[in-house]
């Protein structure tokens, strides 16, 4: 199965901000126990590349680790060399797409307007991250997919177990979930059972939504 297919299969991509190398494996295993085998580690934290390397090395092919908040081509390259298997941006940066494609990695740049979404896809995006999703809402996704149904979309920003199904029903291939699943407080507390439980709820919400489409 390709990396892109794996991103879409479960359809839930946890977005971890402020990752710490010393706890990242425990977090990955907690997510995996809940049915999620993917994680996006954002790069604004100094230890993020080390965390990516650790998950990639220790979890191997059983877990898909990606880099988020990638804003330039060189950062994309460093993340891939550290072991990132997919790249995500909050905005549209052509150099990021170019580097990801050069290394054969799926890339999901951020976009908001129809023009940005089409431009991202034309530049080679595998999925386009619609951000901020909660501000725009599921109806926006549904409306966008009218003329642009050929472009795979991922919704990120304000997604939780209460609205996840709505974004999937609207036509998203995947959802990026941050604080409602992997908040810094829960990670600092080491409440891994909570994360496993929440992960399971999100996986089930996506599965149920897909079966109703």
Catalytic residue positions? 40, 129
Closest CA to 90 of 154, 145, 186, 8: 154
Contact predicate 36/14, CB 8 Å: yes
């Amino acid at each position: 199965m390709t990396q892109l297919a794996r991103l879409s299969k479960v359809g839930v991509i946890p977005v971890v901000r402020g990752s710490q190398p010393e706890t990242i494996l425990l977090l990955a295993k907690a997510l995996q126990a809940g049915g999620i085998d993917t994680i996006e580690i954002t790069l604004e934290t100094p230890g993020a590349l080390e965390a990516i390397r650790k998950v990639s090395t220790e979890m191997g092919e059983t877990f898909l680790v990606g880099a988020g908040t990638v804003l330039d081509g060189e950062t994309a390259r460093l993340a891939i060399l550290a072991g990132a298997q997919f790249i995500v941006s909050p905005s549209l940066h052509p150099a990021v797409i170019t580097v990801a494609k050069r290394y054969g990695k799926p890339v999901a740049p951020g976009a908001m307007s129809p023009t940005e979404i089409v431009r991202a896809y034309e530049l080679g995006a595998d999925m386009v991250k619609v951000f901020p999703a909660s501000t725009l809402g599921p109806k926006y996704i549904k409306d966008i997919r009218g003329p642009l149904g050929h472009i795979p979309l991922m919704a990120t920003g304000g997604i939780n177990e209460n609205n996840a199904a709505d974004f999937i029903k609207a036509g998203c291939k995947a959802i990026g979930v941050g604080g409602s699943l992997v908040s810094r407080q829960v990670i600092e507390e080491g409440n891994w059972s909570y994360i496993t439980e929440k992960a399971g709820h999100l996986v089930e919400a996506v599965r149920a939504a897909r079966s109703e489409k």
